[in-house]
Structure 1
């Protein structure tokens, strides 16, 4: 009976979360379609995307902690580099980072029905297997920085297979871009997104879990050269990984299957019981919920 209730609870929460992710987009799609017709209106379309992210995350109901350390002066563009562990990474970033942002995403995002073409117009898509596509994306990103538009890049280039535990080695592009444009790098840690929506090869498994995003101190790039890319990359890597917590490493255990008997060879991974906030020394902390966040057992 306990497994049945947990199974039904998972399904109900997945349905609820999916509804509140899809519904705001459906309701505002006509307005977004109109705003996507002219580049001069893209700023307003990004405002819709930020509002959509905030509404969805709020309706999911879990505690969200946003920690902002020494922020940049208003109007200073920068390159945000974040770890990539879940499909909710983009909504979390849009919620936490102000301004008319740019973001670099894989070209497949532009193929998503209805939403994809809008994403492809407002933001930058790249086929990481194509040198021409990568070069075009860097040119677009630098043009945006010159116009004062910060950009978000996932330097791993893909979702990690061991989220919250290990990151894929960073690619050079984001750091070369920041140095060539003379703008700061801002490392961003999202250590818990994979607990809420893990990447399970296309399977939708939403779990109630606290979330946390940390915007670290900006790293200046003025006076750096391309010879400094490796050191800058490793520095950002270490800063982002510093927010990972051992208890939150890896993917959560599967949802209970009350109608299936587990085989003897099945391995169960115990999920963490509690995660303590480590952002007490940040200059600004916005918290929806308690500082001590308990992670679910499933």
Structure 2
């Protein structure tokens, strides 16, 4: 509903780059309202103040469809975000995302290079960037992350901007990446860890920086949040009798709602 109500204005603001700042502000407000309307409490932890007067590269784990709205809700300022090219092909919302933010085909080297150039120019213009260094949603969200790609860390070093690791440990419990829509009541949480300066680092330091950020993000995972919620379904108390047969008498049973973590 928040998106549908604001869609005409978002579409208009997406048409000109000079209006994208206002589009992002609108996206932040509808993300806040979107999460509020689900009724999910959000625990927000900021380990230290964000660097003042300079852009940052925000590096987050990727586990759910709710990741982007939660990031937009939490991180202040005018942001850019790097997302997979298929997001720009989503009906209605996709063209807006494709005009306002960075899209990348991760299987195409030219597309990856172009996306990094866009991100570098964004940082140089004083606008922070969000990247999911796993490249896609984790196969075991909340438990382990996929291997990080080097691009984000080489980018931060080349641009001389600090990296802010972000942990979102519960998003997959609320809205996992599964076929169809599966939603469970689960409080959300997001932790912005202490910024890591990159001043004085060289490209040779990228692997160590990548591992450091990986370890920091996983330190915020919660063991009790591991695994994907099971689907809910109605389970009849007994199978129906075949046509022309007499059903076997059974003790009365209640129809059960088999729902794990619902």
Which residue is 2:234 aligned to? 257
CA contact (8 A) 2:163 2:195 kept: yes
Query: Could you list the runs of 4 or more consecutive aligned residues of structure 1 that deviate by over 6 angstroms after TM superposition?
Result: none
**d(CA) in 1 for partners of 2:15 and 2:86?**
21
1:30 corresponds to which residue?
8
CA distance in 2, matches of 1:127, 1:259: 45
More relative contact order in 1 or in 2 (CA 8 Å, sep 6+)? 1
2: CA distance between counterparts of 1:199 and 1:49?
A: 22
Equivalent position of 1:16 in the other structure: none
Q: Specify the alignment match of 1:93 in structure 2.
A: 71
**Structure 1 residues 207 and 112: alpha-carbon distance in aligned structure 2, compared to 1, 3 A threshold:** same
- In the other structure, the counterpart of 2:249 is none
Could you tell me which of 222, 225, 241 is aligned with 2:218?
A: 241
Structure 1: 5+ residue stretches without partners: 1-22, 262-269, 272-296
Which residues in structure 2 correspond to 1:77-116 (within 5 Å)? 77-116=55-94
Residue 72 of structure 1: how far off its partner (Å): 2.2
Gaps of 5+ in 2: 239-258
Distance 1:76 1:241, change over 3 A: same
SS of 1:73 mapped into structure 2: coil
Instruction: Provide the residue aligned with 2:18 in structure 1.
Output: 40
- The structural deviation recorded for 1:95 is 0.6
Q: Find the counterpart in structure 2 of residue 203 from structure 1.
A: 180
- SS of residue matched to 1:234: helix
Among 87, 99, 104, which residue is 1:121 paired with?
99
- State the 1:260 CA deviation: 8.3
SS in 2 for 1:85: coil
Q: Secondary structure at the match of 1:175?
A: helix
The number of residue pairs the alignment matches comes to: 243
Specify whether residues 260 and 124 from structure 1 end up closer, same or farther in structure 2 by C-alpha distance, changes over 3 A only: farther
Q: Distance in 2 between matches of 1:260 and 1:210?
A: 33
Which residue of 33, 36, 39 corresponds with 1:58?
36
CA contact (8 A) 2:123 2:159 kept: yes
Q: 2 CA distance for matches of 1:73 and 1:246?
A: 31
> What's the counterpart of residue 144 of structure 1?
122
What corresponds to 1:282 in structure 2?
none
Query: Residues 39 and 241 (structure 1 numbering): CA distance in 2 closer, same or farther, change over 3 Å?
Result: same
Counterpart position of 2:165: 187
> 1:132 deviation in Å?
0.3
For normalisation by structure 1, the TM-score amounts to 0.79
Between structure 1 and structure 2, the one with the greater Rg is 2
SS of the residue 2:91 aligns to:
coil
CA contact (8 A) 2:51 2:195 kept: no
Find the residue that maps to 2:189 and give its secondary structure: strand
Root mean square deviation, CA, Å? 1.6
